[in-house]
Each structure stands twice: as structure tokens, then as C-alpha cells.
A and B are shown apart, each in its own frame.
Chain A
């Protein structure tokens, strides 16, 4: 779908950590960083698209305006998006479509979070019609419960082992060593992973992503604006496609926060399961295929889920992810490096910022600016992620 591209003129992040400060501070820092990277003043931004944080009271529910006010009201149009882990890409899509519609030239997308310690939990109070409340109350099903169900399934279907899973963490931790924005910059071994306590069998503590504070921002512009503005900076990174697809009935994989799947008794399960349909829609929109990718940033909420993504974004056939990993194909220097940033394994998750951070990393990679973790000659990168309640999230970037 040529002609439907926008430019990534600037990217910025506030380092991930457990800083315990107001999320607005991280978002503003990331936004100013992205504007500096773009070489644009804040006054030129015409649309602010915020990705919401839902655990920090009122300002988080209207994040676009919160960020705009904190930076000084400038009269820009505004939107705030919530799609759980996919919030960042939903906010990017709001900005992209506004630019493509010709309603603005310059948009700023911001997401930031401050996270509590321990398991993510639903809002307080009895809410017996809310599936996210019910899964905790009726079953005690935390997020790692769902990650572990997927991991056990891989072991049973494809013969994956705990050592295979641990190697994903070892790879991502090694990548994160060179990333100044990563929370964890520490190498780990397979033995370290397997010696950490089991949280949800078969997954160990070091295989499940932590919850982190952090902020990320991107400045998106029309291609024409970027051509006029960029001058000698060279060709900008372009957003070739964004996928925010929902599942197709029946969804037959148990997913956060559901207690049960749809029924496949009357309508057969679709050919592509939900996670596979996410990147597929991005490839279709861009006319680019998985064989064209230089790298991918996927949502490794757990080690085993990264392996699922290899198959779901088309890097290999179903059941071949462990071989891809063990052959070194997805390591830096391999055929198709995955999570060169270090992934969630090195960052922990700052929910509304994470999908934007994936786009920041791919942008740095395509510009050749990912010092210490650069994928040589990278021209095309994909991000992939899935948000609670059926939010697809994928961005295809090219340069």
C-alpha cells in the first residue's frame, strides 16, 4: 500500500528502571528527547497522542492531555489510547492515520509508566463483571499463569525444554548489556536461569519479565514534511504499516484475561491464530514479507513467548523456533536477530511505553545508531506485541 507511509523523524526514551517517580516525568523526558532527535521545537507539534497508564490515578487515564499540559499547553489536538500492552501502537496508529488523512504534519506519541512492585493486579474493589477481576478472584490466575500455560504447551507440542527457554534469556540479556536504556545490564547463564525460583511451572523467575518504570516517545511526520525538514540528514525511517487487528472468532487459545476460549463447535478456528494474524496484517498492508526483515523486536513477556513469536511473525514454521534459536539465527550476527535491544528480558515492562520503545529500537537499528548491538546493514524491522482483551500491535519500519 505505497503512499500510506509516514516518517519517524525523532525517537527518544527515558531509561527503564524502578525509579519510583511520577510517570509524567519519564514521558516528558522521552518526548523532549524525541523532539531533540527530530530537531523540532515543541511548538511545531500539532497532535499529541498519549498511551495511557491505568494504575496511577486520574492523569493516567487522559495521558495525552497530561503530557501536553506538563510540556506547556500549545493548542495541539490530542488523543489518549488504552489497549493494555498494545497502548503504544494504538497511540501510534492514531497519529499515523491523522497524518495520512492530511489533518496534520507533525505528531508526538508518548507513553510512560510507574509500576508497583510484584504481580500486576486489577483495580481495587469488587467488580464481578470484569474478566480481569474474575480471573484473579475465581482462579488466582496471574499474568505468569497464562505465560506458563503457553510455555507448557510448547514443551508438549514441540518438545521444547527448560534449557531452550533459558537460552532466550541468555541471548536477550547479552543484547541488553550494550543498551543504555535497559534496566538490567547484566549477563546471565542458563544455570542462573534454571537456579532461579519457579514462579509458575515451568517458568522461572528470570524467565518472566519484570514490571518497570520508563518512558518512550516518537515524532511522526508526513513524508513531505520530513523531506523538507530533514535536509542533509538523509532518508528518514518510514512506518510502512501498523497492525492493530482484533481476533477472528473463534479465538481458541486461552489468553489474558479470559477464563475460557470461544467455541469451535460450530465455526472452525481460523487458519491463523490471533498472534499470527497480527504481523500478517502488517505484512499484507506493506507488501513486505518476513523474508525481507533485517530484525524483529517481539514481546518476550516470557522466554517461551519469544519462541512463539518466531513462528507467529513468520520467521520459521510452527515447531521450528527452538532450532532457530539454537542455531543462533536470532542472535546478533545471526540471520534474523530478534530483540537486539535486549527485549523485555532486559527492560522489564513499562506497559504504555513498551510498544513505543520497540519502535525506537527499530528506528535506531535502521539508522545504524544502535551502538554495541547494531544489526549490520539493517533496512527493515518489525515490532510485534499483543495487548490484553484482544489488541494486536505490530509496526513495520523500513529505510
Chain B
């Protein structure tokens, strides 16, 4: 073969190979979707992105915060047409199930030795076993939890937090008489109304975990006497004026709590701990929403959000590097500055998060998962739209619960299967 022909063939092969290689060139830009508000000075997602970019100068990540309300529907809409982000914030359970066909197995990017050491990784894995496909890199351990303002409690002469309905009602009256909003609630995540997932989970702790499985699997109606009674008591607090009047959709609920206008904020989660400690210092403490006839022993916790690499990304390998970074020592050290990391050996200095971990670790604590992580999409939709209405008296508890039963009944047969909480 002539020399020039050989050279031309070699050049053509090189060009062809370059064209088919995974793109890891110098100027890769990825898009990552986060959820909810992310204050510039207290944003874990942004901190992870910054650290990752420093470690990988050739890769840029545009972090786009999406409203929590409708996040998964928007992500699904974009995924169906392959226009979603390269990296997406992901929640485990039912939220994640609908995206399995769009997510990449992270085994290719994360060593097994690290996967074995990650708490909560099974929740993000096929069949709740990380030896199977792993769909997302969990970034934090999370709790649904309430917060109270110690300074406000002290001013009202309250020296301990309420632990059941009667105590909650009595303390709320004292706070109200003192001029405070006893319990503040609102659309803190940028949605049109508040998301009742946290409240619902604690309201449902009136039932044992085994009954949760029955409700989720359709073996026990949502419209049962226990849940009707729970929602009725919850609504009674609103009727008595113990919630802010615009609890359904107040855009300033969290600011009001931070500003010391309210005694308790019961619809929160561990992801707010950093922001609250920063704003309130030692004045803020955790409180288990005391939606219980007897002193509550419940704690609702789950694997926190994770980062999924979307299969339609044009830069899957670069996105995979980010997922690997989150679980690496460097990534865990970044997480520890903001939240509870998922691997041992990276201590966190947020006292609220340590309190949550202690709560879950108590021998008499009954640990529940986050209920909405297991509900089917139509049931989740009915829950998020109608449960807030039960609080403000726009719908009766029985009607709210019936709407959830109707949503379950509308499921196709293949979705009516027993729900497992995994390990």
C-alpha cells in the first residue's frame, strides 16, 4: 500500500475513533438540576459543584434550582423527550422508579469498595440491593423533623417541647396568648401551597409501620378511623388559631420562624438545619411533630436526595465523574460542612443534625421511612394536593382520605403490587 494511502487511512481511523470516544474534552458543560431554594451562602449542591470543578478543571456544571413542587413531573416531561439535565437530583422509592429507564448504573464510575460503605445506597438500587444497578449517588441522610424556637418558648414560660396532641394544644394556646404564632406553615419550597409530605408522615405514625405497608399496598384504606381522627385533630389546631391564617400558601413561613414570630415549624426537614443554625444559632432546636395521643416515639428518616446521571446526557462519563466525586472522600468532606454525609468518618458540626441522629438511634424510637417515597404517582398527587386542604378546612378529612383511596383504585393492575420498605 502506498505511503500516502496508509497515512490517509490512519488519519481517517484516528478521526473516526475520536468521534466515537466519550467526550471528555476541555470544555464540557453539564447541567444539573437541584430542588427547591438553595441560598447562595448555604447551598450544598453549589458547594459540591465548586469543589468538583476545582478538581476537574475541564468540566463546568450549571446548577439549576427547580421548584420542589412539580420537580419530578418536570423532570419526567424533559426525560421523555431526552431534553432533561445531565445530572438530576433524585429521591428514592416511588419517585425514582419512574426514571429507571433514564438513569445510568453508577457501578461503572464508583468502585465497589466505596459503594459498600455508603449508607442508604440500597434505597437507590434495583431491588434495594446495591449489588444490582445503582441509580443515584445519595448525598445525605435525611429526616423529616420539626423545629422550635428556644427563645420564644422560654419567653412563653415553656421549658420543654410538647410530645402529644394535648400538650401541643396547651403549649400552642400559651404561645398564642403571648402574641406568637404557635405553629407556622407555608409554601416554603416555592410552590403554590405547602407540601404536606412531612406532616402526613408524622400524622401517619399513629399507625405502626406494618399498617403503612397495608395502606400503600391497598390492603387497608387510607380512609380509616385512625387517619380520620389524626387529620381532624390537625385541623382543630388550625380552627383554634394555632397556625398562621395563611398556612396553606404563606410564602414567608420560614422567614417568620427565623424572625422569632413563631414558636414552632413542624413541617420541616434536616435539609433546613444548616440554614436555621446559621440564622438562629443556639435558639433553634428540633421537635418531633407530636401528632400522637401518647408521647411520640417516632422518627421519620430516609436516605436523602441523590444525584442521578441521566442516560440521554451527551456527556455521560463526565456526569458519572460527578456522581463518583459525591461519594469520594473529597465529596464527603464537602457534604459534612453542610449536612449529614452518607459515609462514616466525616463528622458534621451541625448540632441539629447530631440531635436527629441521636433521636433515630435511641432504643425506644420507632423509625419510619418517608411515606411519600413509596406512594404511587396518582396517590402522591392526591396527597400533596388535598392533605393541605384538610389542615385549613377546605376539605373534610374523610374526603381527603377518600381521594387518596380513589387515586389508588385508579392505578393500572401492574402498579397495584405490595410495597416494600426495603431493608
A and B interact:
no
